[in-house]
Amino acid sequence: MSKIEVETRIGPFIKPVVLVGAMIDGQPNFMNVVWLTRLTFTPNIWGLSIGETKHTVRGIRDNKKFSINIASVDMATKTDYCGLVSGREVNKAELFDVFYGELEDVPMISECPINVECTVYQIVEFLGREVIFGEVKHLYSEEKYLTDGVLDQAKINPLLYSAPGNHYWAIGDRVGDAFSIGKSLKKP
């Protein structure tokens, strides 16, 4: 066997980078989050792990709603900045064109190709973090990010984060069709 043991603390996952938006004391704020995943189909729940001291957490707790804005590669510098500084000290919202949707006081970023409005389904305090279960209520995009009516990752060009090395990446080529190419190995 040629396997070697590698550091476990830095997860090997590659994740899309999102900007989580919330209103805090009437002001929009955004923070960089990569610890995010979809959890269920119906209701459509997405889970986020956010440090309990983050400014954004207060807005999510107070308003019981927030946004998830998927960043694209061309937003890498501004997105990284939102993960380096706190809304307690600086106004990060002034970096972006901020808009509001159906849930009204949930700030979203026009420059992001995908914007999701969530209500809080549940919050679990866990080892110094707030694990936030958000129920997706509305998802917004633009015609230019669709091909034949379907969101197209090549057009969205999402910003990805890799913990090993602390690097941002872009997606590569489409490899095949999910729930499909494996069928060729099914026994008749």
Ligand X SMILES: Cc1cc2nc3c(=O)[nH]c(=O)nc-3n(C[C@H](O)[C@H](O)[C@H](O)COP(=O)(O)O)c2cc1C
The residue whose Cβ lies closest to ligand X is 83
Question: Measured between alpha carbons, how far is residue 104 from residues 91, 108, 119, 183, 188 in Å?
Answer: 20, 10, 12, 45, 53
**Inter-residue long-range contacts of 165-171, CB under 8 Å, 24+ positions, other chains counted:** 168/17, 168/73, 168/76, 168/80, 169/14, 170/73
Query: Counting contacts by CB under 6 A, is residue 33 touching ligand X?
Result: yes
Query: Counting contacts by CB under 6 A, is residue 12 touching ligand X?
Result: no
Using CB under 6 A, which of 16, 21, 29, 67 touches ligand X?
Answer: 29
**Residues 66 and 118: beta-carbon distance below 8 Å:** yes
Picking from 76, 113, 107, the residue whose alpha carbon sits closest to that of residue 94 is 107
Give the interface segment with ligand X, choosing from 77-85, 94-102, 119-127, 144-152 (CB under 6 A): 77-85
Q: Mask 34-73, x = binds ligand X (CB under 6 A)?
A: xx-------------xxx--xxx-----------------
**Inter-residue long-range contacts of 122-127, CB under 8 Å, 24+ positions, other chains counted:** 123/60, 123/61, 125/52, 126/49
Using CB under 6 A, which of 73, 83, 99, 111 touches ligand X?
Answer: 83
Query: Counting contacts by CB under 6 A, is residue 152 touching ligand X?
Result: no
Query: Counting contacts by CB under 6 A, is residue 18 touching ligand X?
Result: no
Q: Mask 101-140, x = binds ligand X (CB under 6 A)?
A: ----------------------------------------
- The span from the CA of 21 to the CA of 72, in Å, is 16
Beta bridge partners, 120, equal 134
* Lookup: tokens for 96: 């972006």
Return the number of the residue (81 or 100) whose C-beta is nearest ligand X: 81
Return the number of the residue (44 or 49) whose C-beta is nearest ligand X: 49
Interface residue list for ligand X (CB under 6 A): 29, 31-35, 49-51, 54-56, 80, 83-88, 161
